[in-house]
Structure 1
Amino acid sequence: MATRYAFFIHLRALPEWLRLPREQRRVLGEAHLHALLPRYQGALRLRHFDAEAFAAPCSDLMLVETDDPLKHYDFMERLRDSPLLTVPYFEVLQILPAIEDGYVAFEQSGTT
């Protein structure tokens, strides 16, 4: 069973982003976030969650899932070079890495 890594990326939308019309936000998201995904050809999965109605510090969460942490690293480097983080429109507050069902692999390894 391949190890599945999950990276929970906590983001804060900045006033520069919130001042943009929603259509412009959609275009920027497509151009600088979703356009990155085909490069990983299924090796990386991205999910987005809105949190602003439930949490004060972060407004958005991205969940990046992959079997290869270097794919995540590459994705983050490209994201950091994009206007989403360089204008900046968003601030990365924290990244929490995790291993999906890590305890299962540990228990199956026989080292318990």
Structure 2
Amino acid sequence: MTWTIFVTLRATPQWLQQTPQDRETIAAACLAEVMVDDRVTMRFFDAEAFSGVCSDVAVFETTDMVAYYFTMERLRNTALISAPYFEIVAIIPALENGFRLFRRAEQERAA
């Protein structure tokens, strides 16, 4: 089963005061420390033009929630979160088409 976890983030003024080149350097260094487990992938989306709640959304995917947990622990220990350059607004775990998994399990249970 693959979990998708949406992590909404808000950039802080401290992050926004960095030059684009410095932001890239900081992010690359931090993510090199964080994304070390091939059981967890991450995609990153800019949302600031569309939301007043968050500026960015990180989308993690994993089949191993402990591996995801360890990834988040590593992330919290980086400057991205601890400086703080970003604040975590919300963490939303989800199952893609979870209702289908449920129906299939219910059908198997009834059989």
TM-score (norm 2): 0.91
**What is the match of residue 37 of structure 2?**
40
Per-residue deviation, 1:57: 1.2
Per-residue deviation, 1:85: 0.7
Per-residue deviation, 1:35: 4.2
Per-residue deviation, 1:34: 4.2
Aligned residues: 108
Report percent identity of matched pairs. 37
Per-residue deviation, 1:108: 1.5
Q: CA RMSD in A?
A: 1.3
**What is the match of residue 17 of structure 1?**
15
Structure 1 residue runs of 5 or longer lacking an equivalent are none
Q: Matches of 1:67 and 1:102 in 2, distance apart?
A: 14
Larger Rg: 2
Q: What SS does the aligned partner of 1:40 have?
A: coil
Residue type of the alignment partner of 2:37: Y
Q: How does 1:33-112 map to 2 (within 5 A)?
A: 33-37=31-35, 39-41=36-38, 43-109=39-105, 110=107, 111=109
Q: Matches of 1:45 and 1:7 in 2, distance apart?
A: 10
**What is the match of residue 28 of structure 1?**
26
Runs of 4+ in structure 1 over 6 Å off:
none
Q: Matches of 1:35 and 1:81 in 2, distance apart?
A: 9
TM-score (norm 1): 0.90
Q: Residue 81 and residue 35 in structure 1: after superposition, are their counterparts in 2 closer, same or farther (change >3 A)? A: closer
Per-residue deviation, 1:69: 0.8
Q: Matches of 1:20 and 1:8 in 2, distance apart?
A: 25
